[in-house]
């Protein structure tokens, strides 16, 4: 997409973190943005801040794991702006224990519902609209380095599925001659509150698996607080949309780790992990 001015973007998980960073970058590109999140107060606060700065934004509360909510999100977008040109399937949560078999079925249902089925619902609802519009459009699916380097259990499983699904949908759209394009965002350590995902966990899925031995949540929070700004990630996404670039790898220092994993697969070697960059 060459020109984003006055185009309409929808961002899920937009109240904070990478979602907010993308929303801010879209606004700066001249877009009108629908911000969606399950966290009501944070969503309205973020929307009010962007609107006070002059942005044309609209808030819709939605749980992406619920298909009816995603349908209502699309309907609200069309009612407000009349079209949708960019969809950022970004909403995500972190859950799971180590070893992975200690995770509960509630852990699995929650993380699959948001991280994977949220993307599925976004595709199912928004892609037909984008195709029918007959103009340039773009979907951005948020995966993770966990999908590319391995070593993560529940979270990695969902993000690996998002990566594989995105690749397939991209090929289907190109092969079918359809206008929309797809990018998959593969971020590393970003300054988000992903480790506080439990604040939005539904009560019906309250059976939480034990944390791994030695797990230090405060250390994890501090490490991520030193990560890349979400706004920088949003700028990566805007460039990828302009370039119609599929893979959006925001932390190139991990390329060697991705290559290490790919070589193991090609060579038929058993999995091993490299230490993080800089260690």
CB 16 within 8 A of CB 192: yes
- 155 is annotated as an active-site residue: yes
One-letter-per-residue 3-state SS of the chain: CCCCCCCEEEEECCCCHHHHHHHHHHHHCCCEEEEEECCHHHHHHHHHHHHHCCCCEEEEECCCCCHHHHHHHHHHHHHHHCCCCEEEECCCCCCCCCCHHHCCHHHHHHHHHHHHHHHHHHHHHHHHHHHHHCCCCEEEEECCCHHHHCCCCHHHHHHHHHHHHHHHHHHHHHHHCCCCEEEEEECCCECCCHHHHHHHCCHHHCCCCCCCCCCCHHHHHHHHHCCECHHHHHHHHHHHHHHCCCEEECCHHHHHHHHHHHHHHHHCCCCCCCCCCCC
For 22-43, b/e burial (b = at least 16 CB within 10 A) is bbbbbbebebbbbbbbbbeebb
- Please state, in angstroms and rounded to a whole number, the distance separating the CA atoms of residues 140 and 133: 18
Catalytic residue among 94, 155, 170, 247: 155
- Tokens 């929808």 appear where? 10
Annotated catalytic residues are 155
């Amino acid at each position: 997409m060459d020109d984003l001015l006055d185009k309409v973007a929808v961002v899920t998980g937009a109240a904070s973190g990478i979602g907010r960073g993308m929303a801010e970058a879209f606004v700066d590109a001249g877009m009108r943005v629908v911000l969606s999140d399950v966290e009501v107060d944070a969503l309205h606060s973020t929307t009010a801040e962007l609107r006070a700065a002059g942005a044309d934004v609209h808030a819709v509360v939605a749980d992406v794991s619920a298909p009816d909510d995603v349908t209502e999100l699309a309907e609200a977008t069309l009612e407000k702006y009349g079209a949708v040109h960019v969809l950022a399937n970004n909403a995500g949560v972190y859950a799971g224990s180590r070893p992975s078999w200690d995770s509960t079925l509630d852990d699995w249902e929650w993380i699959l519902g948001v991280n994977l089925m949220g993307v599925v619902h976004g595709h199912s609802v928004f892609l037909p609209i984008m195709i029918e519009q007959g103009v340039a459009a773009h979907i951005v699916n948020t995966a993770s380095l966990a999908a590319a380097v391995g070593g993560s259990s529940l979270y990695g499983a969902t993000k690996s599925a998002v990566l594989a699904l995105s690749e397939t949908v991209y090929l289907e759209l190109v092969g079918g001659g359809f206008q929309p394009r797809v990018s998959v965002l593969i971020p590393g350590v970003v300054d988000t509150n992903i480790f506080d995902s439990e604040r939005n966990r539904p009560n019906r899925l309250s059976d939480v698996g034990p944390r791994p031995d030695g797990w230090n949540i405060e250390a994890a929070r501090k490490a991520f607080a030193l990560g890349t700004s979400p706004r920088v990630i949003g700028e990566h996404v805007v460039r990828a949309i302009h370039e119609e670039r599929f893979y959006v790898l925001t932390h190139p220092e991990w390329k060697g780790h991705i290559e290490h994993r790919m070589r193991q697969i090609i060579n038929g070697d058993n999995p091993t992990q490299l230490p993080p960059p800089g260690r």
